[in-house]
Amino acid sequence: MIEISNLVKFYGDKKALSGISFTVNKGEILGFLGPNGAGKSTTMNIITGFLSATSGRVTINGYDILEDPENAKRNIGYLPELPPLFLDMTVLEYLTYVAELKCVPKDIRKKQISDIMKMVHIGNVSGRLIHNLSKGYRQRVGIAQALIGNPEVLVLDEPTVGLDPNQVIEMRKLITSLSKTHTIIFSSHILSEVQAICDRVVIINNGRIVADAPTMEMTARLEGNSHYLVTVEAPFDALQMQLRAIPGVKSVNMLSERSGLLQIEVVADSEMDVRKSIYYTISRSGYPILEFRSTAATLEDIFTSITAPKK
């Protein structure tokens, strides 16, 4: 759906992008992350056609953003960090204006606007001036304008910034539901949010891609190991010997022991899924398992480890 190939961007003699490449598949929610000054905003502006690359190529649904910008942009809905709202218009007036700009046919314009307002839950404020809306409603109006014209791709830059916790949850649900019919590039500095809703994460730093992996596999791929926490009622020496015999298990470490309960960490090769083997090994021995979960690092841990300035 989206193909970014060898993008390079110079601002004068400063190189902002150094040949980055990645793709976004149809129906995917891609988390696009990077520290300030990493080239993230530059990349998104090139993808959406607001900025030209020095070299490289971007195609949206098969259309080159530079060679065929009109058709490429028809496939893009963009919500920048500061939504492009006209505060002296009502919500309905503004969305009608956007529909006219995007050349939505008159015979479907009214219904499309109505459907979008219903989808993002702003029908109850359609007659209100945007100036008088809360931050949460303004963000919803921003998403609504991105959806006008039914683009297949949505680029959302910090869509939950400034929202209260309840509004953030509602926005997450909305973005997840939109992925059923749209391909989404989602950028946020709230990394727990990205981890919660994105299928895959791309991290950029100093103008280069430094990580690209499915969200759930990001930690294992970078570390080369998977970590599991097990709480079990068992003698440690016997259990350690049995678990170490499982192919792919690298180490078994006791974290604590109390009243006959062990809390252990099992470290395994990330290329091998040993969860079933761990479970069956323990259960066949008759040891009660009270807890069994992955202890992978958070996306925040990973982001910090690969983008922090080197000392």
Q: Looking at residue 17, which CATH number applies to its domain?
A: 3.40.50.300
Are 144 and 210 found together in one domain? yes
Please report, for residues 199, 232, 306, the alpha-carbon distance to residue 296 in angstroms, rounded to integers and kept in the order given.
16, 19, 16
pLDDT in tens, 85-132: 999 999 999 999 999 999 999 999 999 999 999 988 899 999 999 999
pLDDT in tens, 14-67: 999 999 999 999 999 999 999 988 999 899 999 999 899 999 999 999 999 999
**Looking at the domain assignment, is residue 125 inside a domain?**
yes
Are 158 and 96 found together in one domain? yes
**Looking at the domain assignment, is residue 249 inside a domain?**
yes
Among 201, 219, 237, give the residue marking a domain's end.
219
Distance of CA 309 to the CA centre of its chain: 23
DSSP state of 234: S
**Looking at the domain assignment, is residue 309 inside a domain?**
no
**Looking at the domain assignment, is residue 311 inside a domain?**
no
Are 189 and 232 found together in one domain? no
Domain that holds residue 210: 2-219
**Alpha carbons 34 and 108: distance in angstroms, whole number:** 39
Distance of CA 76 to the CA centre of its chain: 17
**Looking at the domain assignment, is residue 146 inside a domain?**
yes
DSSP state of 54: S
Are 140 and 284 found together in one domain? no
Helix (H) or strand (E) holding 200: strand 200-205
**Alpha carbons 262 and 247: distance in angstroms, whole number:** 22
**Looking at the domain assignment, is residue 290 inside a domain?**
yes
Are 147 and 239 found together in one domain? no
Are 101 and 119 found together in one domain? yes
Are 235 and 197 found together in one domain? no
**Looking at the domain assignment, is residue 191 inside a domain?**
yes
Among 161, 184, 219, give the residue marking a domain's end.
219
- For the chain, how many structural domains are there in total? 2
Are 36 and 109 found together in one domain? yes
Are 256 and 166 found together in one domain? no
**Given this model, what pLDDT does residue 222 score?**
63
CATH number of residue 241's parent domain: 3.30.70.3190
pLDDT in tens, 206-247: 999 999 988 877 766 666 788 899 999 999 999 999 999 999
Are 204 and 134 found together in one domain? yes
pLDDT in tens, 67-80: 999 999 999 999 98
Are 147 and 265 found together in one domain? no
Among 159, 191, 219, give the residue marking a domain's end.
219
Please report, rounded to a whole number, the percentage of residues in the chain having pLDDT higher than 70. 97
The secondary structure of the chain in percent helix, strand, coil, rounded to multiples of 5, reads 35, 30, 30
What is the rounded average pLDDT for all residues in the chain? 91
**Alpha carbons 84 and 88: distance in angstroms, whole number:** 12
Are 72 and 185 found together in one domain? yes
**Looking at the domain assignment, is residue 127 inside a domain?**
yes
